[in-house]
Amino acid sequence: MTGPSSTPRGEHSPRPGVTWVSSTTAWSGEQLVDDDAPEPAPPNRATRRAIARAQRRKNRGR
């Protein structure tokens, strides 16, 4: 077994075309809510329709 080298290694360069932006995680939609916070208002009609439309598109793509 060899001992540690006195010369530091060079900086590692990533694959070409890979940036830190492509390696970030997406937001899961989870939010922390204080226990003493009032209940949120229910979504309005436009929001409910948009959610239903997104679900239909998601299920159609299976």
Query: Residue 2 corresponds to which amino acid?
Result: T
Overall pTM surpassing 0.85 (yes/no): no
| Cα–Cα dist 30/27, whole Å | 8
Whole-number pLDDT of residue 32: 85
Query: Residue 30 corresponds to which amino acid?
Result: E
Both tokens of 52, joined, read 């239903």
pLDDT in tens, 27-39: 778 888 889 989 8
| Cα–Cα dist 41/30, whole Å | 17
Residues 6+ apart with CB under 8 A from 43: 51
